Structure 1
Amino acid sequence: TLSDRLIELMIGMEALFGDKEYQRYKIPLRCACMLYPPGKVRKQAFATIKKFYDERSAIIHGGKLELGPNSKGEVDQFEEYTRRSILEFLEVHKDGCPITSGTQLDDLLFFDGE
């Protein structure tokens, strides 16, 4: 189902971008910053990922996915964010900088890897 797909994609996002606290904010921020330069597209990606984090949380806690006319397309876009994120992590690893912690990821995204 679309709900199952959303949950599975968010598990992937949590594995890549999550850590112990503030996941609702950190996952979308880290993902959007990894995939896009500053600007409108990054802001939209952040909003979309945050929305799906909230929807995933609602499903996990007994709610239902609110299906709208664009739901499948939005989940498709979320899948694309997840796919591209995996590719970015692989590229960074290939370049000799495996990311093993949230702090290391933040350094790479926000402080030029220092």
Structure 2
Amino acid sequence: MEIGFKFEKLIIWQKAMDFGEDIDALAKIFPTNELYNLSSQIKRAADSIALNISEGAIGQTNPEFKKFMGYSIRSLAEVVTCLHKASKRKYISEIEFNEQYENAFNLMNMMVAFKKKIQ
């Protein structure tokens, strides 16, 4: 008997988990005056992506899952905005911005496609 939750098998959940850890590591280089502002915001938004996927997958209906996928997509858009803020404030390099922006773009495309497939 295989034990596990169905959301753990979802590639988008796995990628969202990895993305959240990457963003957490990136936020650690932000200045200390951003600890309760941008650092906290970007980390919470990044974590919210995987959290909402898992919460929606446990739901009893597909419309409910679609709703939570929408929350995940919005959280990812929030992370992208925080990345822009961090870049404009010179907290991260252009290379770091581009790497995480590309990761976010790819994850967004996967999530939008997945949401469309939910009946």
Q: Which has the larger radius of gyration?
A: 2
TM-score (norm 2): 0.40
Higher helix share: 2
